[in-house]
Amino acid sequence: MKPLSDTDARRAVEECVRRIVPDADFGRVGPDDRFRDVLELDSLDFLSLVELLSARTGVRIDEDDYPELTTLAGTVRFLTDRTAAKTPGATENPAATGNERTRSAR
């Protein structure tokens, strides 16, 4: 996947949230607001958002990454950083990554 711009990442976040909360009003969400609170996303909604964002962007999102996804600006930054960090031929498949580590350790 090509790197996401801030605009593309924000659009992805908004589209994914709207699949969970169709009437989500992003006009009420400032860049540093905790959008889960403003849009009243519960924990299951948040997990759905993580899955949708991962599927939409191709970015693997682990539980350790959740603190970076609390604000709109943080989520956009996370997605742009992760897509920029990908290199051609890199894989996000954990099984493949594990196999590569095993091969390089030999």
Q: Which residues of the chain have pLDDT under 50?
A: 87, 89-106
| Predicted pLDDT of residue 102 | 36
| Phi, psi dihedrals of residue 58, rounded to the nearest 5° | 80, 10
**What pLDDT, on a 0 to 100 scale, did the predictor assign at position 1?**
67
Residue ranges of the alpha helices (H) in the chain? 6-20, 35-38, 43-57, 72-85, 94-105
Q: Which amino acid is at 91?
A: T
CA–CA distance, 90 with 23 (Å, rounded to integer)? 37
